[in-house]
């Protein structure tokens, strides 16, 4: 089982979109640990959205689709629609 997920950092007021075949809480722990990359800029990331896929390729395609939007408002609408 693989995931496409969206993280949010309140301190940066930014979203991060990724994909993984790890358990999401473990993947979040890695984002919050000392490492290089975009998510190393903050330590308050939370998982705000996720989708499950049968393959890593499908999860990656969804990640790329969401990133192609280049729109925080569109991402917010996706998150809000999943909460209802």
Task: Give per-residue pLDDT as tens, 21-78.
Answer: 999 999 999 999 978 889 999 999 999 999 999 999 999 999 999 999 988 999 999 9
* φ, ψ at 55 (rounded to 5°): -135, 155
Q: pTM, whole model, 2 decimals?
A: 0.93
* CA pair distance 54, 57, nearest whole angstrom: 9
SS3 category, 39 = helix
* CA pair distance 42, 83, nearest whole angstrom: 25
Instruction: Report domain extents, the chain.
Output: 2-83
What is the biggest distance separating any 2 CA atoms in the chain, rounded to whole angstroms?
Answer: 35
CATH code that applies to domain 2-83? 3.40.1440.10
pLDDT higher than 90, residue 17? yes
Which residue reads 């075949």 in tokens? 21
């Amino acid at each position: 089982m693989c995931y496409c997920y969206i993280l949010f950092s309140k301190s940066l007021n930014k979203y991060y979109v990724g994909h993984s075949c790890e358990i999401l809480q473990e993947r979040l722990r890695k984002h919050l640990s000392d490492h290089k990359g975009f998510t190393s800029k903050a330590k308050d990331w939370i998982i705000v959205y996720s989708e499950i896929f049968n393959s890593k390729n499908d999860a990656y395609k969804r990640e790329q689709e969401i990133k192609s939007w280049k729109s925080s408002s569109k991402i917010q609408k996706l998150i809000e629609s999943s909460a209802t």
